[in-house]
Structure formats: structure tokens, C-alpha cells
Amino acid sequence: MGESPGTLTLVATPIGNLGDMTYRGVEVLKSVDVILAEDTRHSRRLLDHFAISKPLLSYHDHNETRATPSIIERLQRGDNVALVTDAGTPGVSDPGFYLVRAALEAGIPVTMVPGANAVLPALVLSGFPSETFVFAGFAPRKPGELKRTIDALENEARTAVFFVSPHQLHKVLDALAQALPERPVAVARELTKVHEEVARGTAREVRDHFAKGTVRGEFVVVVRGIGKRRGAAKNEDDSRDGD
């Protein structure tokens, strides 16, 4: 019989405050044979903080196709591999899903050490309904795609959550203010960090708030949905009456 394959473990890392790193995450990173990271310089600071000394390899959008086969070979030989992202949960809006898919197709065990992410804190701190929500990844960069995305929110019943880069924030807030000026919006900035801020108000009010100064930090934009569509509650009651 051949040797058993190693395990690919996705390890969530802090989105700002290093105190949010889990004990299990540190233990896994200390135990694996190699760690994959989007930005090795950024992740090296995290590893140094927790006295983790392991080989660190680059794995990102620009080398995922080239690097994945050799990583799969290492796993098949029995090496245990950890994957981290620059901040938060790997596999969400980053190339981690590509490696997970390749590992599963190769019959390699995949597991997860959950932890910090920016989506849920922003959603909860918005104060908007959270029993159902939609995460839409990074807001589109192209004006036409962004407009279509924002226009689709006019009839969206669920709360919507977007990642937005600093240089895109004004464009996204302008688009929201034009299409949905009175819709409640929350923008979370620098979550878990010293300058954490959550700006809440209508789309127009939040746009004006961030128009006052230089935009810095990492942003999550949360847009309140319209709730149950008109007539939905009545239709539900009617269906119960017919049971």
C-alpha cells in the first residue's frame, strides 16, 4: 500500500487584531510541513508574532494554476499543508477555493480551522436584519457591472454585504446614493483595529460622510434589504389556510 496523503488545512487568521488568532490555529501552523500564503511578507509577521517557524510559500491569484500541481504532489506524498490568506478566512474571495477543489478531486483530506472574518462582524454591527443575507464578494470595478449590481438591490429582500477596496469606496457609495438614496447602509472600516468605525445612515448620508476626508483602511459595505416583498406575508398566510 502507498503512503497516506497529507491533509490540507485552511486556517483563518486575524483581520486586524492579532489577539483574535485561535489557539488551534497556532497549533496547526506549528505542526504542518509547509504554509501557503497570499503575501509571504505579510504572513511572516503573523508567524513571527506567534513564534512559528515553518517554510512559507507564495500562493495567490497570479500563480495558482502553476503552483497547484506541485502542492497536490506534496500532499499526495504525505506532507501536511496549511493555507492562510492575508486576513480572515481563506477560500472566501481569494484563490483558496481553487486549491480546495483540486485537493478534493485528488482525494486529499481537507479540513478547516475557523476564525476571524470581516463579513459577519460587519453584518452584525450594521444593525440590519441578519436571519438571511447575501455575500457578494468584492464590488465590481467596471462601472457598468457596478451599476447592474446596485440596481439589482432595489428589489433584494435580504441584507447584502460587499467587500470594497479603498480606491473603490467613493464609486460604490456614489452608485448607491444615486440608485437607492434613502436605503439604509452601513460601512465598516478597520474592523478589530484601533480605528474601527461603522458609519450608518442612508446611502446618501454615508456617501457624504466618507466624502469629507481621505479614505484609508479596509471596508465592508452592508446594504439593508427591503424585507419581505409586498404580498409575501399574505401569500404565506393563504398557503397555511389551505393546509
| Spatial contact of 198 and 217, defined as CB atoms under 8 Å apart | no
Q: How far apart are CA 114 and CA 135, in angstroms?
A: 18
Does residue 230 form part of some domain? no
3-state helix, strand, coil in the chain (%, to 5): 40, 20, 40
Res. 43: pLDDT tops 80: yes
Report how far residue 89's alpha carbon sits from residue 78's, in angstroms, rounded to the nearest whole number: 24
Question: Grid coordinates in use for 229?
Answer: 416583498
- What pLDDT was estimated at residue 213? 76
What confidence score (pLDDT) does residue 236 get? Answer: 45
Give the model confidence (pLDDT) of 162-196 as tens digits.
999 999 999 999 999 999 999 999 999 999 999 99
Q: How confident is the model at residue 92 (pLDDT cuts 50, 70, 90)?
A: confident
The answer as to whether 157 is a domain residue is yes
Q: Whose CA is closest to 99, among 217, 195, 177, 10?
A: 10
Lowest mean pLDDT among 67-76, 159-168, 214-223: 214-223
What is residue 136's predicted lDDT score, i.e. its pLDDT? Answer: 94
- Looking at the DSSP assignment, which residues form a beta bridge with residue 197? 189
Element containing residue 192 per DSSP (H, E): none
Q: What is the pLDDT of residue 218?
A: 86
Segment 136-145 mean pLDDT: 94
Q: Give a yes or no: residue 239 inside a domain.
A: no
Asked if the model's pLDDT at residue 138 lies above 50, the reply is yes
Looking up cell 500564503 gives: 37
In this predicted structure, what is the pLDDT of residue 229?
52
Residue 136 and residue 190 in one domain? yes
CATH number at residue 84: 3.40.1010.10
pTM of the model: 0.87
Expressed as residue numbers, the domain containing 163 is 119-223
Measured distance CA(71)–CA(27) in Å, rounded: 21
* Within a domain: 189: yes
For the chain, what percent of residues have pLDDT higher than 90?
Answer: 86
Q: What is d(CA 228, CA 221) in angstroms, rounded to the nearest whole number?
A: 21
What is the per-residue pLDDT across 4-31, written as a single tens digit (0 to 9) for each?
A: 999 999 999 999 999 999 999 999 999 9
Q: Which of 113, 137, 159 is at the close of a domain?
A: 113
Residues 125 and 178 in one domain: yes
* Count of domains forming the chain: 2
Q: What is the pLDDT of residue 131?
A: 95
| CATH number (domain holding residue 218) | 3.30.950.10
Is 100 found in the same domain as 131? Answer: no
What single-letter DSSP state applies at residue 155?
G
Q: Is the pLDDT of residue 231 over 90?
A: no
Residue 132 has pLDDT above 70, yes or no: yes
CA 176 from centre of chain: 21
HSE toward the beta carbon, residue 188, CA cutoff 13 A: 22
Residues 38 and 99 in one domain: yes
Give residue for cell 464609486: 171
Average pLDDT, the chain: 92
55-61 LR contacts (CB < 8 Å, sep 24+): 59/83, 59/95, 59/99, 60/94, 60/95, 61/94, 61/95
Residue 108, pLDDT above cutoff 70? yes
Specify whether 133 is located in the same domain as 76. no
Position 82 scores a pLDDT of 98
Distance separating alpha carbons of residues 189 and 100, to the nearest angstrom: 29
pLDDT at 240 over 50: no
Same domain? 211 vs 141: yes
**Is residue 228 in some structural domain?**
no
Q: What is the pLDDT of residues 44-54, one digit of tens each?
A: 999 999 999 99
